[in-house]
């Protein structure tokens, strides 16, 4: 039986990824789950992020998804490996869960000539050092400077991304990152919520510094994965449908999702 691909995020952020995936692979069916009731994940402990992510993964598997994308850096950093190595083998080794960190790390080097890259993410992502480890594997010559921006996700989730308050925190965090090295020539937005702040991020960064969002990178990597794994691809249904689920209010989700996803969304509520 063929079923939709699952896409998970702690809230709205993964919609910036799903938008690009859908543009590139419109023929597939997708189920999006946002754990808005418990967002943000960024400041939470390893165990909590693992527990919450696993609950969401279990729910998506219960909808029959053969493949789930953790469209959340924090969940990818803190839960993905344990899910892949400890949970999946005992549950169903025909199912797959993929994240957003490895595909990004595998390509990031081509954006920098100075070989100095800035990474902005949540506390959880930065603390996990996942980007340092993964970028080192693909581009050993590149030096990565990280900085956590704990205020950015709340600004986005509370629809304050256009406000003067957002400018204050964005400038403050960018200044801290750039003080770590004058040679940074590319900055990765290592949180799926941050593309919503793109305009302001660009405003506070020198023009010569490239800003990299992950949506496109993750979409291309998924397309490539499906091509390389026909045994998974053949289990993915293709009617071009989208379903959206949130653990919080559907009114809020439908109202705000349009900004992240670029089109109107009709969600349903679930409890995890």
Nearer Cβ to ligand DGL (190/205): 190
Look up tokens 């995890």; give the residue.
272
Q: Is 191 a catalytic residue?
A: yes
Rounded CA-CA distance 55/35 in Å is 10
Nearest approach, Cβ of residue 192 and ligand DGL (Å): 4
Q: Is 149 a catalytic residue?
A: no
Report the Cα 244 to chain-centroid distance in Å: 16
List contacts with ligand DGL (CB under 6 A). Answer: 9-11, 13, 39-42, 72-74, 122, 125, 153, 191-193
72 touches 16 (CB < 8 A): no
Nearer Cβ to ligand DGL (150/262): 150
Nearest approach, Cβ of residue 191 and ligand DGL (Å): 4
Q: Do strands 116-121 and 96-98 pair parallel, antiparallel, or not at all (unpaired)?
A: unpaired
Rg over alpha carbons for the chain, rounded to the nearest Å, is 18
Q: Which of 65, 149, 191, 236 is catalytic?
A: 191
Instruction: With H, G, I as helix, E, B as strand and everything else as coil, classify residue 5.
Output: strand
Q: Which of 65, 72, 149, 236 is catalytic?
A: 72
Q: Which two tokens stand for residue 272?
A: 């995890």
Nearer Cβ to ligand DGL (40/66): 40
Nearest approach, Cβ of residue 157 and ligand DGL (Å): 8
Residues known to be catalytic: 72, 191
């Amino acid at each position: 039986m063929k079923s939709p691909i699952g896409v998970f995020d702690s809230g709205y952020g993964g919609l910036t990824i799903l938008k690009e995936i859908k543009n590139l692979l419109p023929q597939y069916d997708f189920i999006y789950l946002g754990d808005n009731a418990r967002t943000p994940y960024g400041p939470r402990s390893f165990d909590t992020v693992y527990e919450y992510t696993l609950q969401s993964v279990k729910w998506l598997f219960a909808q029959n998804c053969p493949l789930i994308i953790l469209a959340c850096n924090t969940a990818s950093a803190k839960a993905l490996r344990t899910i892949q190595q400890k949970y999946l083998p005992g549950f169903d080794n025909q199912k797959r869960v993929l994240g957003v960190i490895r595909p990004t790390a595998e390509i990031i080097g081509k954006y920098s000539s100075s070989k100095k890259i800035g990474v902005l993410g949540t506390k959880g992502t930065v603390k996990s050092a996942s980007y340092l480890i993964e970028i080192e594997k693909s581009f050993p010559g590149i030096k990565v400077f990280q900085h956590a921006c704990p205020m950015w996700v709340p600004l986005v989730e509370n629809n304050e991304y256009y406000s003067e308050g957002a400018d204050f925190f964005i400038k403050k965090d960018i200044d801290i990152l750039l003080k770590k090295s004058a040679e940074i020539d590319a900055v990765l937005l290592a949180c799926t919520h941050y593309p919503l702040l793109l305009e302001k991020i660009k405003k506070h960064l020198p023009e010569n510094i490239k800003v990299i969002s992950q949506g496109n990178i993750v979409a291309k990597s998924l397309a490539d994965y499906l091509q390389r794994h026909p045994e998974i691809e053949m289990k993915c249904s293709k009617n071009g449908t989208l379903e959206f689920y949130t653990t919080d209010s559907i009114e809020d989700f439908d109202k705000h999702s349009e900004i992240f996803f670029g089109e109107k969304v009709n969600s349903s509520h679930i409890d995890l």
